[in-house]
Structure 1
Amino acid sequence: MSANRRERTGFWRGNSLSLVFGAAFLVVLAAQAVAGRAEFNEQLAVEGLQQVGFGDYLMSSDFAVDVTENWQSEFLQFFLYIFGTVHLLQRGSPESKPLHKAGTESEREQKLGDHAQSDSPRWASTKDWRQALYSRSLGLAMAVFFLFSWFAQSVSGVSAYNDVRLRQLQEPVSWVSYLASSDFWNRSLQNWQSELLAVAAMAILSVYLRQRGSPESKPVGSPHSATGVEG
């Protein structure tokens, strides 16, 4: 086997998790676009209006709001989970830290400052704002993605909402008015509650159930009381 072939094999195997889920995301997004256009055209047909092409639907506010309302709830889930698990614990769950490690942990445990290693990220060895920022960069990134996608949902949502109102010969509403509307909050809250339920279910079910070989599960033979142990 040539060196190039080994490098290609190593790349695909070493990044298979993100590559497979990234590809699956694109496939499902395309399928959503097809199904969404069909549903949208059915609504237009009922109202006696001209149907839209696939390209026009992809550029529509109807498609944008359906996509972004799901994105923002997913990023909210990870933001809350990343920050919440710093201090919140679940006895017996691999999704929780060991019970004696609640909190931000010591610099030695986190390999910060003087305890940074030669291969540690550069900002981990600093002792100023860079270390403070990098120490929270994952949660902050999720918070930024959440806020950005929630804002995008509100902008595309008010456009889609006003399109419906105009077809019904009603006055459009402003973006600020839409933020206080039941449509905006129904779209947001119906996704938030499902994400919170999924996190809670994962945290408690992983105490008693197992998935052999998965890092999201404890080793199959671990006792139910084992906390912060991954397979």
Structure 2
Amino acid sequence: MRQLRDNALSLVFGALFVLALAGQSVAGWFENNERLAQHGMPPEAFGAFLTSSEFVVDVAENWQSEFLQFFLFIAATIWFVQRGSPESKKPGDEGPGTDKDQMVGEHAKPDSPSWARARGIRRTIFSNSLLLVMGTVFLLSWLAQSLAGTVVMNSENAEHGQAPISWVEYLGSPDFWNRTLQNWQSEFLAVGAMIALSIFLRQRGSSESKPVGLPHYAAATESE
């Protein structure tokens, strides 16, 4: 029970992710078979749909925008601040911080991760590991979106008697950038709204909110 309690936040969102992905796969399968029926074609098996470019492109285009959002947000909060927002450091704290602040090298604690006590490239990698992973998943998802999108586009072109296009041509197509930018703009809006609204609004008990009675201009860290 203690393990469940200590990891409840990750477990809840992990379960929500699996349920939402499963729901998307079933809904997408039904929609795809309805489209096939309209064209007088036989239905597709569920397993075949899960490995199809149609399903992959829909999943990948959402994943890449989400991981881009967090990649940019994590990177931006190193150097930029927003007074009063719990999503930001205090003005004056910009930058990567000192070794003492970050508890690395000779300032590491006995229970600090081993790579925090290491020197050279290992410490550099560990110090930037969150950005590296977020950026890598974004790039891989974006690549998957572009490859699967090329297959989908060529399938649609074949239905209309048009010539297939290359992956490079698809990267410059309106379809690719429409799929990409419609997700990016919504992610940037959501992050910007969270940063700005959390200055003036509160949610009691949430770590994403300042204490209810803290002044609007103060950061959450100023209550400590």
TM-score by length of 2: 0.96
- Counterpart CA distance in 2 for 1:37 and 1:164 is 17
CA contact (8 A) 1:86 1:103 kept: yes
Q: Which of residues 1, 10, 35 is equivalent to 2:2?
A: 10
After TM superposition, the structure 1 = structure 2 runs for residues 1-231 of structure 1, keeping only pairs within 5 Å, are 9-229=1-221
- Counterpart CA distance in 2 for 1:165 and 1:230 is 58
User: Residue by residue, what CA displacement relative to the aligned partner does 1:188-219 show, whole Å, maximum 9, x if unpaired?
Assistant: 11101110110000000000011111110001
Tell me the secondary structure at the aligned position of residue 186 of structure 2. helix
- Counterpart CA distance in 1 for 2:217 and 2:174 is 43
- Counterpart CA distance in 2 for 1:100 and 1:189 is 34
CA contact (8 A) 2:56 2:148 kept: yes
Shift of 1:228: 4.2
Amino acid at match of 2:5: R
Shift of 1:229: 3.1
RMSD after superposition: 1.3
- How many residues matched? 223
- Higher mean Cα deviation, 209-218 or 163-172? 163-172
Shift of 1:47: 2.4
CA gap 1:198/1:218 in 2 versus in 1, 3 angstroms: same
* Matched-pair identity in %: 54
Unaligned runs of 5+ in 2: none
- Counterpart CA distance in 2 for 1:228 and 1:140 is 27
User: Residue by residue, what CA displacement relative to the aligned partner does 1:30-52 show, whole Å, maximum 9, x if unpaired?
Assistant: 11111111222222223222221
Shift of 1:54: 1.6
- Counterpart CA distance in 2 for 1:149 and 1:230 is 38
User: Which runs of at least 4 in structure 1 moved beyond 4 Å after TM superposition?
Assistant: none
Unaligned runs of 5+ in 1: 1-8
- Counterpart CA distance in 2 for 1:230 and 1:62 is 49
Tell me the secondary structure at the aligned position of residue 103 of structure 1. coil
CA gap 1:228/1:101 in 2 versus in 1, 3 angstroms: farther
Amino acid at match of 1:201: A
